[in-house]
Amino acid sequence: MGTGKRGLLATAVAVVCAVTVLAAPGTAFAAPTPPPPPGTTASVTVVDGPDKELEAVRKKLDKLYRAAAVATEEYNAAEEKAKKQSAEIVRLAEKIVKGRERLDRLKERAGAAAAAQYRGGGLPPEARLVLSDSPQEFLDGAGRVRQGEHATKGLLGEMSRTQQDLEQYAQDADTQLKELEAGRKAKAKARKKIEKRIKAAEKVESELEEEEKERLARLEKQAADQAQAGWLSSGILDEIDGKATKQGREAVAYATAQIGKPYQWGAEGPKTYDCSGLTSQAWMAAGRSMPRTSQAQWKQLERVDIEDMRPGDLIIYFDDASHVGMYVGDGIMVHAPRPGRSVTLAGAGSMPVLGAVRPDAAAD
């Protein structure tokens, strides 16, 4: 988005699972954590000793990466808005060019009319008619005068309207440029937030010994497993039995085909993704346009009860809707977790669920 005014006017951590190929519609995925027996609740492991310190590190890292995720969605929203504003500026620039061409043609017509009057001796048509000796010629000419007056007034009115349109287009373009500049500043601010949080998280992790990193990974998995077990213990999986639509299967196929590709904030593929970049591109590949950010997906798409979910639906996480994954069935979702991780399968309840939305609600 580095094009200037002149140029524009001129022209959190997931459970890693093994993935099987989607051989047919409705392919099921093995759950990362098996459902607990009916009537049981998720166990809570008490962290003590050396792992107590690592648990504090895990929570700190989670907080930093969550903050980076929030800033990433702010960046994505600013980026999406900037794209639309740039397109609008180009559209307005084209209107200005066409308007100027039209105004030039109208001026040529007005000039031709003035020249014709000059060739007639400079007298107004009314005066020339009064001096006529023929009454019939006078009457015939009177009609032509009225037509000429109407044509002249119409020409002047058209010139005035075209000029007003040009002024409005210029004002609109100026407004869009100012908003675009404000968007650039918002993007730069969000970028700084992201880089600051990720740098802080990487510093924390770099200070750990390899053995500590392994234990930290186990703690992360344990936290995700416990959250998933708690979600499943409610019996929610017994209620979810929706069947994917054709587009839903295509979106799931696209998303799961990206498993193993690295997370990169602000990325929409094809080599790297962030969370909403993965879900939006998956549904676009299935032929349905999508809001870019998880917050916009939550606000703009039709909401469905968790019990009514079907493969292809999007699960929105955290109170601020800062993360999103795609439900694939059997209590599992696919998502791009965070920096340092890759696109993977995880328990649909491994993070705090805000709700679910359906991109292809019109297919119901």
Give the active site residue among 58, 215, 323, 338.
Answer: 323
Alpha-carbon distance of 63 to 194, in angstroms, equals 13
Question: Could you tell me the two tokens for 121?
Answer: 């001796």
Three-class DSSP category at 24 = coil
Give the active site residue among 310, 335, 338, 358.
Answer: 335
Give the active site residue among 8, 216, 275, 321.
Answer: 275
Residue 323 is a catalytic residue: yes
User: Which residues lie closer than 8 Å to 292 by C-beta, 6 or more apart?
Assistant: 76, 77, 79, 80, 268, 276, 277, 280
Per the CB < 8 A criterion, the answer to whether 69 and 324 are in contact is: no
Of 149, 157, 163, whose CA–CA distance to 99 is shortest? 163
Beta bridge partners of 262: 342
| Residue 128: burial class (beta carbons within 10 Å; 0-12, 13-18, 19+) | middle
Per the CB < 8 A criterion, the answer to whether 331 and 232 are in contact is: yes
**Helix then strand then coil, % of the chain, to nearest 5:** 60, 10, 30
**Beta strand pairing call for 332-335 and 344-347:** antiparallel
* Residue count (the chain): 364
> Taken in order 301, 302, 303, 305, is the CA torsion positive or negative?
negative
Three-class DSSP category at 266 = coil
Question: Could you tell me the two tokens for 354?
Answer: 């805000």
Question: Could you tell me the two tokens for 355?
Answer: 């709700």
Alpha-carbon distance of 337 to 334, in angstroms, equals 9
Residue 275 is a catalytic residue: yes
Of 89, 101, 99, whose CA–CA distance to 166 is shortest? 99
Residue 335 is a catalytic residue: yes
| Residue 147, φ and ψ in degrees, nearest 5 | -60, -40
Alpha-carbon distance of 319 to 338, in angstroms, equals 17
Which residues are tagged catalytic? 275, 323, 335
